[in-house]
Amino acid sequence: MNDPQKDIPWWQPVLFAAMAGGMAWGIRGQYGHETGAMIAGLLVSLTLVSLLCPSASLLNGARAVALGTIAMGFGGSMTYGQTVGLTHDAPLIGNWAALCWGMIGLSIKGGAWIGFAGIFLGMGLSGIRYRCREMLLIMLSLIGLYFLGVYLINSPFNPSEKQLPLLYFSDHWHWEPGTYGRPRFECWGGLLLALVSLIAYVGLYRKDRLAPRLAFWGILGGAIGFPLGQSLQAYHAWNLDSFSRGMWAQLDPYMNWWNMMETTYGAVMGGLLGLG
C-alpha cells in the first residue's frame, strides 16, 4: 500500500500537477496522438507520486507512474481536430450551434481521455493489489468493451452513403453543406464504455476507493479543461478585430493559440487530478 503523505497542503499537488500538466500537454502537441499524450501522463503521475507518496517503494511508485502514463495514451487514439474545428473554423464563425456542439464533444472526449489516466493511476496507488493475471484479464476485457462501445455508439459510419452515428462530433456536411465530405471515424464511445465498466469493476467488485475517485476527478478535469482551453482559441477566431488593435496587434502574430488551448487543458486536468 502506498500511504499518502498527510502533511502536504492541498494546494501543492494542485499547483505542481497543474504546472506539470500544462507544460507537458504543450509539449505533447509537437508529437500528437498516444505517444504525445504519454508525456503528460508521465510528468503528472511522477509529480503526484513523488509529492504525495514519498515513502512508497521504488517499485510501487514506478508501477503507479507507469500505469498513469500508459493510460493517458489511450485517449490519443481519438480524433478531435475536427471537433475543435467546429468551434473556430472560418466558415463556422458565428454558428453558435456548431460552437456548442463542438464544446460538448470536447467535454465528452476530454472526460474519457483523462478519466482513464485517473483510474489507472489510482489503481497503482491504492491499497488494493491487482495481480498480473487480473490486469491481463482487465486489459482484454477493456479491448472487448471498446469494440462493443464503438459498435453501439460510434456506428454506423459510412460517409459515402452519408451515414453517420447519431452522436457525432466531427465536422461533416450538416455543418458545411456541399463543401465538406471527409468525416473522420470516431471511437470515443468505445473508450467511454470501457472506462465506465472499469470504474464499476474496481469500485463495486474490488472495493477500491481511490481509483474511482481519481477517475471522477480525471473525468472532471478533462471535461472542463478541454473546452475551457479551446474557448481561448475560439474567442480569438471569433473576435479577430479585437486582436488587430492596441498591444494585441503587436503580440498576436507571435501567439500560438492552439498551444494556448493545449497548455490550458493540461493545466486544468493536472490540477484537478492533484486535487483528487
**What whole-number distance in Å separates Cα of residue 182 and Cα of residue 242?**
32
pLDDT in tens, 106-133: 999 999 999 999 999 999 999 899 999 9
pLDDT in tens, 58-112: 888 999 999 999 999 999 999 999 999 999 999 999 999 999 999 999 999 999 9
Q: How confident is the model at residue 160 (pLDDT cuts 50, 70, 90)?
A: confident
Q: Where are the domains of the chain?
A: 11-126+168-173+213-275
**What whole-number distance in Å separates Cα of residue 173 and Cα of residue 179?**
7
Q: What is the pTM for the complete model shown?
A: 0.93
Collect all residues with Cβ–Cβ distance below 8 Å to 127 and sequence separation of at least 6. 1, 2, 210
**What whole-number distance in Å separates Cα of residue 156 and Cα of residue 189?**
12
Cis peptide before 156 (omega within 30 of 0): yes
Name the CA dihedral angle for 68, 70, 75, 81, rounded to a multiple of 10 degrees: 110
CA–chain centroid gap for 85, Å, is: 17
Nearest to 157 by CA among 183, 180, 177, 176: 183
pLDDT in tens, 220-272: 999 999 999 999 999 999 998 888 888 888 888 888 899 999 999 999 999 99
pLDDT in tens, 163-202: 999 999 999 888 988 766 688 999 999 999 999 999 999 9
